[in-house]
Amino acid sequence: MNENEAFAALAGMGIVALVVMVALALAVSIFYYLTLQQAMNAVSPANRPLPGGLIWLALVPVAGLIWYMIYIVLLASALRTELAQRGETGDGGLAVSVALVALLVLCFVPYVNLLAILPAVALWLTHWTKTANCRRLLEGGQPALAV
């Protein structure tokens, strides 16, 4: 095997790894957005600022990130209002949503992004969990963890 063949093989493995990572990220995103859609649909129409299906606009490149940040804050606010009207405790994940948006914005600042990425991932997972628990609570089920 000469140098060009070795380079081509390495490049091919890199492309395959990239495709697998993108496919995995897309699959995780689909499950996450499905959770957000179900949570928005669990809110009564009077407290729902927009239809749950609009979260899928977050898959649009570039503009989708901005839409995602707006959506999660609106969703958390709607969940908080719905929980308050039903006499339940909890903020609907509003604090986590606002902190996540702030960290996502910091991820675009050079050098600061290196410090913000790990807390952003941790808050993203926390947000997913809190949103799923709020949805379960609103649908009459028991949340998996404390809201």
pLDDT at 31: 96
Those residues with Cβ within 8 angstroms of residue 73's Cβ, 6 or more apart along the chain or in another chain: 94, 97, 98, 101
pLDDT at 29: 93
Who wins on pLDDT, 67 or 90? 67
Q: Residue 146 — very low, low, confident or very high, per pLDDT cuts 50/70/90?
A: low
Indicate the pTM of the whole model: 0.85
The count of C-alpha atoms lying within 13 angstroms of the C-alpha of 51, restricted to the half-sphere facing its C-beta, is: 4
